[in-house]
Amino acid sequence: IALFRTDYAGRGELAERQQKLNIMLNRLTKISEEFNVAVYITNQVQADPGSNMMFVSDPRKPIGGHVLAHASTIRLYLRKGRGDERIAKIYDSPDMPEAEARKSIEFLISSMFDYIYIYIY
């Protein structure tokens, strides 16, 4: 998403940016289905100033909007734990409940998923 944010800056170009992002995500989906491979998409987060007024526990929100959210099957939220520990939270999944796991990233991905699209933020 960083490249799209650089090329399409400001609200005036938001619609065009989202359309181009959607085209790219559709291509990735077709490649994934045709070659039976998983696609891992990383994303950025930004502070949501309006969340402070609603007392939200995590004031960060993913960049990319609904286009990126709808293009993924499973969304994970990764954060640093103590030391080398990483915490992965299943944020959205059609067949798994919301849950957290504390392991290495490689272990989490290889043991939990076979064939999916992952949206990580």
Q: Is the pTM of this model over 0.85?
A: no
* pLDDT (tens digit per residue) in 19-53: 888 898 999 999 989 998 888 888 877 777 766 66
How many CB atoms lie under 10 A from the CB of residue 96?
11
CA distances from 38 to 12, 54, 107, 109 (A): 34, 36, 16, 11
Find, among 114, 120, 121, the residue nearest to 32 by Cα: 114
CATH level 3 topology of 2-120: Rossmann fold (3.40.50)
Q: Which helix (H) or strand (E) holds 119?
A: strand 117-120
Q: Where do the domains of the chain lie?
A: 2-120
What proportions of the chain, in percent to the nearest 5, are helix, strand and coil? 40, 25, 30
